[in-house]
Chain A
Amino acid sequence: MSVDFRRGDLPTLPDSAPVTLIDDEGHRAADARDGGFDFPGADELKSLYRKMVVARRFDVQVTTLTRQGRMATYPSALGQEACEIGATAALRAADWLFPTYRDTIALLTRGIDPVDIFPSFRGDWHCGYDPSAHRTAPQATPLATQALHAVGAATAAKLKHDDVATLAFLGDGASSEGETHEAFNFAAVWQAPTVFMLQNNQFAISVPLAKQSHARMLADKAVGYGMPGYRVDGNDVAAVYAVVKSALGRARAGGGPTLVEGLTYRIEAHTNSDDPSRYRDDADVATWKTRDPIERLEKYLLSTGLLGEDDRRSIAAEAEDLAARTRDAVSAETTLDPLEMFDHVYAAERPEMRRQRDFLAAELARSDEATGANA
């Protein structure tokens, strides 16, 4: 609100060298690139590693199920685990997450059961989990719309004097949408406790960033709104976690919003119905595969003795367990009640809705009768 908008020092252009805490080789980055952010503790790093490994196994499993035709569609986040997990792991339980369609693995860090994540991708229902219970909005498909919801929820939290921040995921394509501008502007003017995690994975379906934006980098966009922006190595989970955690802390303390650009790459296709060979070079993909976020952290953890064989075994077991549970859940026969379509349109009952529900109920009854007669 305008009353408690305190104009502090206006931010300057972010550093174009991404914040990096652990480099490609798995070493602690040189001080110059760490931006002064807190290096995560050993337990935090191990937890991030575990979450990334499990999330990737899940992601690969769902992609496989999609190829087998057991899921309608699935936009993979393979290679983006550091952004997805690093950013959401920085949230507290009371904070809210506003994910997009690609941020499925982020939902795992919010404690949402995979069984409740599938319905929208399998075609059962649009959102299978209770957003309030997990403080996680439904995955948004129209680009950038959810960023405004994040600003609204953050502002409501601020009005209620709750110590709560919100995190919105965006992609590089979404940065072109008008609603991204509105979200950044509202958040800055209202000093909303919101962090925008912009995953720059280089392509919006087939359109490369160079055709999407003429800006020096997407993190620069923050400056025009009067909020700080950071470019972070999006394949370095330690850096993503540290920067987002710092931004969330600043937001909760009344410091307003932050834009974080995570520089990363989409290893898989946009979705299962996309053919990336038509628009990108295999050599680029190969290069980015050498920058894998999981391998990078693994190298660091192994070289520092933080990760033992027991850990790896238990993490692998957890990942396989989740994959198996995912396969079983997706493959399980589900019974959908078509009449439920009418139950959640309005809070207040409507005569016309009741008539249409009754119509379908009668049709279903006739169909059951016919089936029974033929049996």
Chain B
Amino acid sequence: MSAHIDAPAEPGVAATPTSMQAALNAALRDALTEDPSVVVYGEDVGPLGGVFRVTDGLAGEFGQERVWDSPLAEAGIVGTAIGMAMYGMRPVVEMQFDAFSYPAFQQVVSHLAKMRNRTKGAVSMPVVVRIPYAGGVGGVEHHSDSSEAYWTHTPGLTVVTPSTPSDAYSMLREAIASDDPVIFLEPKSRYWPKEELALPVRTEPMCTARVVREGADVTLLAYGATVKTALEAAELGGQEGLDVEVIDLRSLSPFDDETVDKSVRKTSRAAVVHEASKFVGYGAEVAARVTERNFYYLAAPVLRVTGFDIPYPSPKLEEFHLPTAERILDALDTWDWEA
């Protein structure tokens, strides 16, 4: 699992168990230290350190002119970030929870995503919008949405989601350095599990997918929290003699066709796994483009294993909604493997 991680950037630094929350915190700290134009703001990101503690300690270290609590208003947060970017800053703003980002939708799709295009490239939008997203943590309604399809459907945005602490660090650093606006989706259920890691670390480039487990029979395409589910399915499938390859897409927009094509042409079978609803979901795009590009290599239709087409359910019911390893394997069983 951790074979992809580069050696620590500073030799001699010992790897320690590091959570995604800690890795993101370190990425923000290092970006704030290195670039005076980086500012961090949003609801409760100051003294509280964010409701997930991703900004823990930063307001104290960098002062309230670099890291501060904004009024509780998401359109205001993104709208002011756009103005700050026009004035040469690199704001990193937080939406606190996925479904709380919807008031900011207009600012993101009408201005943040389009400013470069509207101005023929004269104005860049180096803004990162951090959105803790998806479920599996027992959140009440409006706290567990997977809103990636809204953002990925919008030209002008880069949309990424890490699944490991090392990627979280590396991708957030790259997102902050990017001159394009980045929607940075943080899978909530992956905030706390730890990985042996020495920071700072740089993993594969932000806009690429990665094969996290090699296999010969089928390719599972997953991202964010479902990478873990896909790996569980691979382990379980392995016990039954199924050799499963797992790809962590990492970048939802742009889509890394090359890595995916290569895998699918090898295995000839693919399924995409996500928590969001199926209908017009991100998996529809994945299935369509994998099919368009690889039809004659495919032995079976590309499957989607997703959440149901329902509003995200109550905490006590979410286990029935979220894709599981068993559900993935059951889906693979629907193929005619003799074909």
What residues make up the interface of A, taking CB atoms closer than 8 Å to B? 1-3, 96, 98, 125-128, 130-133, 137-138, 140, 142, 145, 147-157, 159-160, 166, 178-179, 182-183, 185-186, 189, 340, 343-348, 350-352
Stretch in B61-69, B159-167, B236-244, B323-331 with 4+ CB within 8 Å of A: B61-69
Starting from the known contacts A125-B120, A156-B83, 6 additional A-B residue pairs (CB-CB under 8 Å) come to A1-B68, A3-B64, A132-B123, A148-B78, A160-B87, A166-B83
Q: Does B81 contact A (CB under 8 A)?
A: yes
B64 touches A138 (CB 8 A): no
Known: A142-B106, A183-B79. A156 touches B89 (CB 8 A): yes
Q: How large is the interface on B (under 10, 10 to 19, 20 to 34, 35 or more residues)?
A: 35 or more
Q: Which residues of B contact A (CB under 8 A)?
A: 39, 46, 63-65, 68-71, 73, 75-76, 78-89, 91, 103, 106-107, 110-111, 114-124, 155-156, 158, 178-180, 207, 254-255, 257-258
Contact B122 A130 (CB under 8 A): yes
Count chain A CB atoms within 10 A of each CB in B83, B114, B122, B257 and give the residue with the most: B83
Q: A2-B69, A126-B118 are in contact. Are A145 and B111 (CB under 8 A)?
A: yes
Shortest CB-to-CB span from A345 to chain B, Å, is: 5
Q: Is the beta-carbon distance between B75 and A182 smaller than 8 angstroms?
A: yes
Known: A155-B83, A156-B84, A159-B65. A148 touches B120 (CB 8 A): no
Residue of chain A at shortest CB distance from B66 = A159
Is B110 a contact partner of A148 (Cβ separation < 8 A)?
no
Contacting pair A127 B120 (CB below 8 A): yes
11 A-B pairs, CB-CB below 8 angstroms? A3-B68, A96-B86, A138-B115, A152-B87, A160-B88, A182-B76, A182-B79, A183-B76, A346-B116, A347-B180, A348-B158
Which residues on B sit within 8 Å (CB–CB) of A347?
116, 121, 124, 178-180
Q: How far is the CA of A189 from the CA of B80 in the complex (A)?
A: 13
Of all chain A residues, which has the CB nearest B289? A352
**Given A185-B76, A344-B117, A145–B107 Cβ distance below 8 Å?**
yes
User: Contact partner of B75 among A1, A132, A178, A348, CB < 8 A?
Assistant: A178
Complex: A340 Cα to B207 Cα, angstroms? 23
- Flag if A153 contacts B115 (CB, 8 Å): no
Q: Is the CB of A149 within 8 A of B86?
A: yes
> Which chain A residues lie closer than 8 Å to B84 at the CB level?
152-153, 155-156
Give complex CA distance A179, B83 in Å. 14
Q: Which residues of chain B have C-beta atoms less than 8 A from A343's C-beta?
A: 120-121
Q: Are B178 and A348 in contact (CB under 8 A)?
A: yes
Does A152 contact B86, Cβ atoms closer than 8 Å?
yes
User: Of B71, B103, B155, B254, which one neighbours A186 at CB under 8 angstroms?
Assistant: B71
Please indicate the chain A residues that have their CB under 8 angstroms from the CB of B39 in the complex: 159
CB-CB under 8 A for A2 and B107, given A152-B84, A348-B178: no
- Residues from chain A with a CB closer than 8 A to the CB of B255 are 352
Contacts of A185 in B (CB 8 A): 71, 73, 76
Neighbouring B residues of A186 by C-beta, 8 Å = 70-71, 73, 76, 80
B257 partner residues in chain A, CB cutoff 8 A: 351-352
Among B79, B117, B119, the residue within 8 A (CB) of A149 is B79
Least CB distance, B174 to chain A, in whole angstroms: 10
How far does the alpha carbon of A192 sit from the alpha carbon of B322 in the complex, in Å?
45
- A155 contact set on B, CB distance < 8 A: 80, 83-84
Contacts of A133 in B (CB 8 A): 122
A131 touches B254 (CB 8 A): no
Q: How far is the CA of A183 from the CA of B82 in the complex (A)?
A: 13
**Bound state CA distance, A343 and B254, in angstroms?**
16
Decide: B118 and A127 in contact? CB cutoff 8 A.
yes
A150-B83 contact, Cβ under 8 Å, with A125-B120, A159-B65, A346-B116: yes
Alpha-carbon distance A234/B257, docked complex (angstroms): 57
Collect the chain B residues with CB atoms within 8 Å of residue A149's CB.
79-80, 82-83, 86, 111
Partner of A346 from the list B46, B81, B107, B180 (CB cut-off 8 Å) is B180
Does A348 lie within 8 Å of B207, measured CB to CB? yes
Contacts of B115 in A (CB 8 A): 138
Bound Cα distance from A166 to B114, whole angstroms: 22
Closest to B119 in A: A127
Q: Which residues of A sit under 8 angstroms from B118, Cβ to Cβ? A: 126-127, 138
A179 & B120 in contact (Cβ 8 Å cutoff):
no
B46 CB to nearest chain A CB (Å): 8
CA distance A132 to B255 in the complex (A): 32
Task: Sort A-B residue pairs by CB-CB distance and give the 4 closest, nearest first.
Answer: A152-B83, A148-B79, A152-B80, A156-B87
